[in-house]
Amino acid sequence: MTGAMTGSLRARLLWFLLAAIVLAAGVQALVAYRTVLNEADEIFDYHMQQMALSLRAGLPPSAAVGGIGTGEQNFEFVVQVWTTEGVRIFESAEEAALPQLAVLGFADVRARGTTYRVFSVQTHGLVIQVAQDLRVRKRMAGALALRTIGPIALMAPLLMLVVWWVVSRSLAPVARVRRQVAAREANELSPVSEEGLPEEVRPLVHELNLLFDRVRHAFDAQKHFVADAAHELRSPLTALKLQVQSLQRAPDEATRDIAIGRLAAGIDRATRLVEQMLALARHEASMAAGAKPEQVDLNEVARLAVSDAIANAQARRIDIGVAHADANVAAVVVQGQPEALRMMLRNLLDNAVKYTPEGGRVDIGIAQRDAGVELSVDDSGPGLPESERGRVLDRFYRSGEPQAPGSGLGLAIVKSIADLHYATVSLGASPSLGGLRVLIRWEDRTGKTDTAGKT
């Protein structure tokens, strides 16, 4: 029973509720029994007193005794009448032989091996005694008390059946959810129905559905990574193998140097591709894990991203700067994940530096607007045709010729991180530098201009 109580909420509820019903019924029956016994004693005493008073008024003793001592109300009263000199002049039952009492009122008297309840009253030189055997009184009082607690004994099992039905009916939705979860396959992560669940259980099922959703996203991210790796690493690895073979077949030192340069460039491209794929996989994993958002200052994110990209920019003599629409704004804050936002801006800067000619310029813009927050990256490169601006946000799409540098994942990562932060990504022509502008906008969701989004 202890194991069932511990493992089953239904068994625990039924056990405690049924035990409470039994305890309450027992206490109520005991109180009712004691109360009825006391009230029966008072009723019998009242009858004895009324009989004695009626005899004092001169009623015939036989009539008085017969009217109360016979019929349906047979209380088995014994009546004796004494003179003040101690002579008994009347008795209703010779076998009683009650002793004469000098004390008037109620008293308990031992006679004939039993105890009598006696009421004595004096009138007109006579002492009238009305007595009742206490065994008879207790027997009749007990029968009356048992008839009183009979409905309690009948209702307790009925109440227990009602409680059993109510508990079973109330926990039926919980059992339904348990059966749904138990019948699932290992790879089935669809939400569990919350319809008809009580308020105490619905939050648990809701959190379970959220867990299923996070696990499903994690599985999807894993499948995407495996598919991307199988699709995109095949060509670079094949190219590296061919370049190694070309290096082995080089007839002279000059040809060998050319082959080594091509091999090094191929290794760099493969390394960059792997880094981008791992970065995208980490980001999708963090999205599936439901990382907690925090207050992030975009100025600090821009500073860290510029420090990551400054080496490549200086190698190509490209100027990177940060511009604010309002110099009086000390901090532009959004809700999000600092590392993800830093990765997003770093990918934008890498992409801009890659396509900007040497000696060009890349500007980072951070602006606080009435409608939210804007982050932009402008470059002085060749820009992007309008027909390709939507496609470059897809995975592994590279603008221009197939031999264009890059893995085609940079802007896909930017789009994924922006979606995580409820931000929008738009591409257009840079009005200041003439190249490409990538604009990320957080709309104000709280009515406050200093908080532009949430995860």
DSSP 271-324: HHHHHHHHHHHHHHHHHHHTPPPEEEEHHHHHHHHHHHHHHHHHHTT-EEEEEE
Please give the Cα distance from 368 to 387 (Å, whole number). 30
8 Å CB contact between 148 and 130? no
Q: Could you report the average pLDDT of every consecutive run of 10 residues in the chain (455 residues)?
A: 55 82 84 82 85 69 41 63 77 64 75 80 81 82 77 82 82 77 74 75 81 77 67 67 81 83 79 70 63 82 87 86 64 83 85 87 87 88 75 60 50 80 86 88 61 36
Please give the Cα distance from 430 to 379 (Å, whole number). 7
And the tokens for 16?
């405690």
And the tokens for 113?
């091996």
pLDDT of residue 334: 87
Helix (H, G, I), strand (E, B) or coil at 376: strand
Question: What is the number of other CB atoms lying within 10 angstroms of the CB of residue 127?
Answer: 20
Compute the C-alpha angle 285/291/292, nearest 5°: 170
Which alpha helices (DSSP H) does 86-233 contain, by range?
A: 134-170, 172-182, 202-232
pLDDT of residue 49: 85
CA 379 remoteness from chain centre = 50
Question: Could you tell me which residues come within 8 angstroms of residue 175 by beta carbon, excluding any fewer than 6 positions away?
Answer: none
Instruction: Please report how many Cα atoms fall inside a 13 Å half-sphere around the Cα of residue 217, on the Cβ side.
Output: 16
8 Å CB contact between 328 and 446? no
pLDDT of residue 115: 81
8 Å CB contact between 325 and 368? yes
Helix (H, G, I), strand (E, B) or coil at 407: coil
8 Å CB contact between 287 and 420? yes
> Torsion angle of alpha carbons 390, 395, 396, 400, nearest 10°?
10
Give just the sign of the alpha carbon dihedral 355, 361, 362, 367.
negative
pTM score? 0.47
